[in-house]
């Protein structure tokens, strides 16, 4: 049984059109699922649905064996976390203050120790007393990733987490995700337009286009099945541009 189970999920914002339609997949403990697709494919909408930020029009989302609903949402969210390239943390606060607020919000034990560890994880500990507004956009993303690690989540949802990072930090982040999934059983769902990165990190990929799941499965298996060299070639082949 998966830690996240999606069954027949659909979301419509306007009558007659679907942002997502009939999506089903399962994410196991310690697995990394890469969600790929062109702009407007429904990747971010899927992340928002799993976070309970929007309600599905049809289908169900089960996380940790519980159906995600407004009633079960807080219990589920306690064991998850999220970071996005489009969502920031308050810039007037210092890095330390930002993380302390979320450490308390997530009821983390020994919040000071956790904040220090999370900042060290992304190379920001030395800047802990600086205000977040002094950070570059890449450093802000690292701060958001630190926040996402504050509660030792079992499920991590990331929306384009490495898009603003320099190559070195992006590589460290990828390695960290793989390490945490292998060693601590962290399950990750993440979106990215970097198909090389996705191939390196993901155990499985979900290919969305126009709100529909075109492909879903282990990256290596899909590459073999479509007789292509890598995910990038697969991307263009599936979209009919290759």
Which of 52, 54, 53 minimizes the C-alpha distance to 62? 52
Which of 109, 135, 131 minimizes the C-alpha distance to 122? 135
Binding to another protein in span 61-80, by CB under 8 A: 70, 74-75, 77-78, 80
When asked if residue 115 is in the footprint of another protein (CB under 8 A), the reply is no
Query: Residue 119 belongs to what H/E stretch?
Result: helix 111-121
Return d(Cα 19, Cα 86) in angstroms, integer. 19
Member of 38, 66, 67, 104 binding another protein (CB under 8 A): 104
Considering the complex, what minimum distance in angstroms separates the CB of residue 143 from another protein?
11
Return d(Cα 85, Cα 35) in angstroms, integer. 15
The two structure tokens encoding residue 160: 């384009």
Considering the complex, what minimum distance in angstroms separates the CB of residue 222 from another protein?
29
Binding to another protein in span 156-215, by CB under 8 A: none
When asked if residue 53 is in the footprint of another protein (CB under 8 A), the reply is yes
When asked if residue 90 is in the footprint of another protein (CB under 8 A), the reply is yes
Alpha carbon dihedral 136, 140, 146, 151, in 10-degree steps, equals 170
Return d(Cα 188, Cα 155) in angstroms, integer. 6
Member of 34, 36, 61, 102 binding another protein (CB under 8 A): 102
Nearer to another protein, 37 or 56 (CB): 56
Nearer to another protein, 98 or 192 (CB): 98
Q: What is the contact mask toward another protein in residues 117 to 156, using x (rule: CB under 8 A)?
A: --------------x------------x--x---------
Query: Residue 22 belongs to what H/E stretch?
Result: strand 20-27
Cβ–Cβ under 8 Å, residues 83 and 149: no
Q: What is the contact mask toward another protein in residues 7 to 46, using x (rule: CB under 8 A)?
A: ----x-x------------------------------xx-
The two structure tokens encoding residue 70: 């407004």
Cβ–Cβ under 8 Å, residues 131 and 93: yes
Rule CB under 8 A: which residues touch another protein? 11, 13, 44-45, 48, 51-55, 70, 74-75, 77-78, 80-82, 84, 86-94, 97, 100-102, 104-107, 131, 144, 147
């Amino acid at each position: 049984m998966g830690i996240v189970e999606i069954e027949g999920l659909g979301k419509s914002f306007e009558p007659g059109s679907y942002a997502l339609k009939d999506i089903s997949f399962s994410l196991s403990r310690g697995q990394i699922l890469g969600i790929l697709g062109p702009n407007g494919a429904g990747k971010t909408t899927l992340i928002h649905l799993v976070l309970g930020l929007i309600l599905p029009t049809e289908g169900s989302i089960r996380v940790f064996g519980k159906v995600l609903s407004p009633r079960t949402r807080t219990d589920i969210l306690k064991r998850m976390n999220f970071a996005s390239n489009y969502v920031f943390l308050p810039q007037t606060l210092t890095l330390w203050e930002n993380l302390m607020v979320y450490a308390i919000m997530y009821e983390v034990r020994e919040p000071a120790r956790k904040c220090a560890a999370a900042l060290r994880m992304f190379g920001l500990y030395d800047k802990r007393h600086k205000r977040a507004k002094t950070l570059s956009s890449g450093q802000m993303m690292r701060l958001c990733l630190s926040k996402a690690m504050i509660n030792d989540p079992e499920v991590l949802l990331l929306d384009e987490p490495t898009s603003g990072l320099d190559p070195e930090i992006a590589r460290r982040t990828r390695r960290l995700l793989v390490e945490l999934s292998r060693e601590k059983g962290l399950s990750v769902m993440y979106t990215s337009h970097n198909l090389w990165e996705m191939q390196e990190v993901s155990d499985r990929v979900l290919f969305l286009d126009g709100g529909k799941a075109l492909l879903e499965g282990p990256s290596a298996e899909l590459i073999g099945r479509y007789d292509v060299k890598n995910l990038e070639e697969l991307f263009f082949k599936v979209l009919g541009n290759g």
